[in-house]
Structure 1
């Protein structure tokens, strides 16, 4: 499973979102690629108003206020 977490510096919502994603990761045991949207102009354009964003296999699972239940539901299926 390929899980990506899109974030940027000085984003309080991103810090909270990553914490929530890490809780799900502890339960399910997958790898998370953390991507700073400021490092890629195309990614920045795509997600600048949505961060934090969690993608699984190229599909957006959740963005903005991340919650454990939604992430668990979508990431528990391989």
Structure 2
């Protein structure tokens, strides 16, 4: 299952999300910074960090290890 983490530069919540992903032993994932993309900024704005799987299911922050694991097995 492919995962994408949408985040911003200098985002302490994004750093926390990365720690949750590590604790959940998430497989490699793509990181997308929304700061310089108007379309992504409009879509995600203040919701970051957002974790999205390849089926289009999204987890908005705050999420925990169990939620990430459920997303991985969805």
Q: TM range, normalised to the smaller chain?
A: 0.7 to 0.9
Query: Gapped runs of 5+ residues in structure 2?
Result: none
Higher helix fraction: Structure 1 or Structure 2? 1
Q: How many residues align?
A: 74
Query: Gapped runs of 5+ residues in structure 1?
Result: none
Verify: 1:63 aligned to 2:60, yes or no: yes
| Per-residue deviation, residues 22-65 of structure 1 (Å, max 9, x unmatched) | 222x2x5x220011011321011100121000000151331121
TM-score (norm 1): 0.82
Q: What is the CA RMSD across the aligned residues, in angstroms?
A: 1.5
Runs of 4+ in 1 over 4 A off after TM superposition: none
